[in-house]
Amino acid sequence: MSQIFHIHPDNPQPRLISQAVDALNKGGVIVYPTDSGYALGCRLEDKNAMERICHIRQLDGNHNFTLMCRDLSELSTYAHVDNSAFRLIKNNTPGSYTFILKGTKEVPRRLMNDKRKTIGLRVPSNAVALALLEALNEPMMSTSLMLPGNDFTESDPEEIQDRIGKLVDLIIDGGTLGQQPTTVVDLTSDTPEVVREGVGDSRPFR
């Protein structure tokens, strides 16, 4: 059964954040809060942990995994971004958006959409997620915790513990969260395309 850390949603305890990062560095799969419900995360290079996430979510090669980033400093390392796309991302992060971008060679192939070679990128506004990413000091491979048969991300840590507590190493309890998904914007061509309307305002991309 997984550990549960109760982390303050506004003032995350550094000791617990550090222990969560230790779990990731040891190959763990964690559940953590974001600004659009709970998500599953692991280290970018950890193939076994990613396979565990795919098993939990029942994902195939067409899924766009997301790189959770603390800021835009790593953007050019992992994604091809022109000046206009960069301005759009910069003006709307951190926030409830997922940007679809062409991945660079620095992104492990298994994380990209098989056909399009794309990757999702997010800079969350959730304080716990940002503290985690700051302590990890690299992007985290992530996907929304949306269990098979559900249309919404999981929002209640106790229910998550009951349903998948045996399949993950750590659940970070940041309180009960909203279930609205991110707004997904495809920036792989010259014209932005809103792929999914979510909690983020889509007007800047139209």
Parse the chain into domains and list their residue ranges. Answer: 3-199
pLDDT over 80 at 86, yes or no: yes
Residues 123-182 have pLDDT tens digits of 999 999 999 999 999 999 999 998 888 878 889 999 999 999 999 999 999 999 987 889
Best CA proximity match to 87, nearest among 78, 103, 75? 75
38-42: average pLDDT: 96
Are 164 and 179 within 8 A, CB to CB?
no
Other beta carbons within 10 Å of 83:
7
Are 114 and 59 within 8 A, CB to CB?
no
Are 160 and 114 within 8 A, CB to CB?
no
Confirm or reject CATH 3.90.870.10 for domain 3-199, answering yes or no.
yes
Task: Go through the chain and tell me how many residues it has.
Answer: 206
pLDDT for residue 87: 94
83-112: average pLDDT: 91
pLDDT for residue 113: 73
pLDDT for residue 61: 65
pLDDT over 90 at 7, yes or no: yes
